[in-house]
Amino acid sequence: MAFAEVRGTEELTKRLLGIGADLPIAQMRAINRTLEGARTRAVTDIVADLGGSITPTAVRRSVHIKKATPRDLVGDLLIGPYLRDSGGMPNKQGRIPLGQFFPTQLMRGVSYRVGKRYLAGAFLATLRSGHRGVFMRRGVARLPIDERFGPSPFKVFRSQLLERHVQAAREQYHARLVHEIGFILSRRAGTEAA
């Protein structure tokens, strides 16, 4: 999401004239704080949409922020590839490994919490890196083995939550911008008084 375009700021005109060269700093701070709040809300809503079958920490690994700078007043909330704790290769489809959905090894497969499902022929394994996953053999031979993945946080977010989050972020950005401008002006007033 990019919030470089600001609308409805007529009431800020007088304050903006007084802030001068510090305006990009206020905008950058407002964008970055808005993105932090948007990330928190996105993670919470994705976990809720998945029925609480995954921890917020596991979803947070897929939700990243590209922060704005004073020279580039565009920030992004990126919901993308899942990156393992070990620094392993990202899953190109952006899907979360089934190992994060509280899997249980059963006699002839693995059950996991996304819709209380069962994957026949699957098994749990922990890699040397410490990554715990759900795996299946491609055929009857021992190798090759493939890891299994659950839903994509991006698809959950895009299909059901995007519009609501964009509107909330716009409102929060406006409030944060007013706050940041007020903060810079009050700091200036304190410096001039001293």
- Which range among 2-6, 20-24, 44-48, 142-146 shows the weakest confidence by mean pLDDT? 2-6
| pTM beyond 0.85, yes or no | no
136 and 157 together in one domain: no
Residue 12 domain flag: yes
Give the pLDDT score at 87.
Answer: 39
7 and 40 together in one domain: yes
5 and 43 together in one domain: yes
Token pair of 40 as six digits: 């928190």
Residue 60 domain flag: yes
104 and 173 together in one domain: no
Per the structure, the count of domains in the chain is 2
Taking only the tens place, the pLDDT of each residue in 114-171 is 766 888 888 998 888 888 888 998 888 888 988 888 777 777 777 667 777 888 888 8
Domain span at residue 136?
A: 97-150
82 and 165 together in one domain: yes
Q: Does the N-terminal peptide bond of residue 97 adopt cis geometry, omega within 30 degrees of 0?
A: no
C-beta of residue 31 within 8 angstroms of C-beta of residue 75: yes
Residue 194 domain flag: yes
52 and 78 together in one domain: yes
Please tell me the distance from the alpha carbon of residue 166 to that of residue 5, in angstroms, as a whole number. 13
8 and 72 together in one domain: yes
158 and 81 together in one domain: yes
Q: Which helix (H) or strand (E) holds 135?
A: strand 132-137
C-beta of residue 152 within 8 angstroms of C-beta of residue 93: yes
105 and 156 together in one domain: no
Residue 137 domain flag: yes
Taking only the tens place, the pLDDT of each residue in 32-68 is 999 999 999 988 988 888 877 788 888 888 888 889 9
17 and 74 together in one domain: yes
Q: Work out the pLDDT band at 99, boundaries 50, 70, 90.
A: confident
Please tell me the distance from the alpha carbon of residue 141 to that of residue 174, in angstroms, as a whole number. 59
Query: Which of 116, 42, 44 minimizes the C-alpha distance to 80?
Result: 42
Give the pLDDT score at 48.
Answer: 85
Residue type, 16: L
